[in-house]
Amino acid sequence: MAVMEHSYYASFGYHVTNFFAVSSRSGTPEDLKYLVDKAHSLGLRVLMDVVHSHASNNVTDGLNGYDVGQSPQESYFHMGDRGYHKLWDSRLFNYANWEVLRFLLSNLRYWMDEFMFDGFRFDGVTSMLYHHHGINMGFTGDYKEYFSLDTDVDAVVYMMLANHLMYKLLPEATVVAEDVSGMPVLCRPVDEGGVGFDYRLAMAIPDRWIDYLKNKDDSEWSMGEIAHTLTNRRYTEKCIAYAESHDQSIVGAKTIAFLLMDKEMYTGMSDLQPASPTIDRGIALQKMIHFITMALGGDGYLNFMGNEFGHPEWIDFPREGNNWSYDKCRRQWSLVDTDHLRYKYMNAFDQAMNALDERFAFLSSSKQIVSDMNEEKKVIVFERGDLVFVFNFHPNKTYEGYKVGCDLPGKYRVALDSDALVFGGHGRVGHDVDHFTSPEGVPEVPETNYNNRPNSFKVLSPPRTCVAYYRLDEEAERLEGRAGTTGNTCPEIMDAYATAEEARWMIWQRMFLARSEGSLRGSHSIRRRPNEARCP
């Protein structure tokens, strides 16, 4: 983010003055190339936040003003009110102009060819799609809101051209649209008549969480409303889910962790003393909110830096509003690296969430079934891939023998447990317990089954916990037996776990990390795409 040159630091890079220049605040162009190369050597893909929705209003050091004296047809920007975004104080491109198309398309190719970015996140797509730019508009899903005279066809055609060009240059490119309107076929291929993006950002999700944390008591949280917000997307159009956005991370707004724990994050995060009720609730809900967002909210998961370990402060660049202070213009990375602070628990759980997807690939699965939204008990149960997830949002009720519906019969075990001691929990869920399923209802008649699921098993569900269960078969048991004989496990890590199941899970994680570390030995001096990386 904020790679393109911008004159005003506090704009966070969104008021671009030079589209072909690397922001000098973070180093030289060669430094950026080194960063991308280093990421590629680690097997990572690098996406750039590209701002083609508007341009800085500056005349002295921006693109604005170069078209003075030209006819409206030749101008880079629309004339009059149509060429000015009243909320952003910026100029709006005339996408019908051939030179604008050449300028913007060549800009994409420049960043891909010169710096080897693997794709882009397009900023402000909603503003581009409509003549009203989404200002004071509430989208209900009615197709008349999307396909009408309000639609900026020229901007839509530009985005189709941009996506077509990128896939010609780099077929494995990843392109994400920041769109809050839910425009149909935005994320379908151009040859199908779509706009061509791979993913859209599920922007309603962070708004929902912030609304709940600011305005609702725990007892008022609606399980149905949460599940609806997380699953409200069109089939076959992929979304990137995220629990908190840059709106909560910058300019004085509060992150989820800060809303939950506030000033106690400065006084109550020491692991050398018992956790206060505020800290205990805050860490528990931070883990639950992030996990259910990842598991149910989309086809990919986005996290802003520091949110994974509950950074207590926002990012605020020097600006007039804070008297040009640099005080908040940083992340305190030492917090998560300090062993006696509880930030490590949230960070460990974030790592475990990602490791869970590496092992079970639930994010890429099209199987997503919400079987239970119990408003009274504050429980949500759903299946994603072959995993079964149980979320208990109740502040104080433990459910013994809670009946959970599932698809496949067999034996289930804990795959990930937010209440594990290593994640700052209370260790109330037994990980060495086998959960055997029972058949439900009449075969092939869903309405006779339990919550429309043909099988079920019973679990212990403590308050403010989330547990993912995986089905064990003979092949999995054989592989677990092989993993249990490995000698690459650190004893101190094993000692941190209370049960044998947690130990087996950590063995697998260590094996995964060991394989990942093998790729780190690749030379960063070779310009490679991630899929071209080779382990020595």
Residue given tokens 């992030």 in the structure block: 290
SS3 assignment, position 367: coil
For residues 368 and 231, the answer to whether their CB atoms sit within 8 Å is yes
User: Rounded to the nearest 10 degrees, what angle do helices 98-115 and 153-169 cross at?
Assistant: 30
Residue given tokens 């941190």 in the structure block: 496
SS3 assignment, position 318: coil
Q: Which residues are catalytic?
A: 123, 178
The beta-carbon contacts of 477-481 under 8 Å, at least 24 apart in sequence, are 480/504
User: Rounded to the nearest 10 degrees, what angle do helices 500-519 and 474-483 cross at?
Assistant: 70
For residues 161 and 172, the answer to whether their CB atoms sit within 8 Å is no
For residues 336 and 309, the answer to whether their CB atoms sit within 8 Å is yes
Beta-bridge partners for 472: 411
E-assigned strand segments in 11-126: 16-22, 47-50, 55-56, 84-85, 90-91, 119-122
Strand order in the sheet with 455-461: 399-406, 455-461, 438-439
- Tokens in use for 397? 């009720």
Q: Single out the residue of 32, 91, 467, 163 nearest to residue 292, CA to CA.
A: 467
Residue type at 300 in one-letter notation: G
Give the Cα separation of 254 and 449 in Å (integer). 44
User: Rounded to the nearest 10 degrees, what angle do helices 277-296 and 204-215 cross at?
Assistant: 160
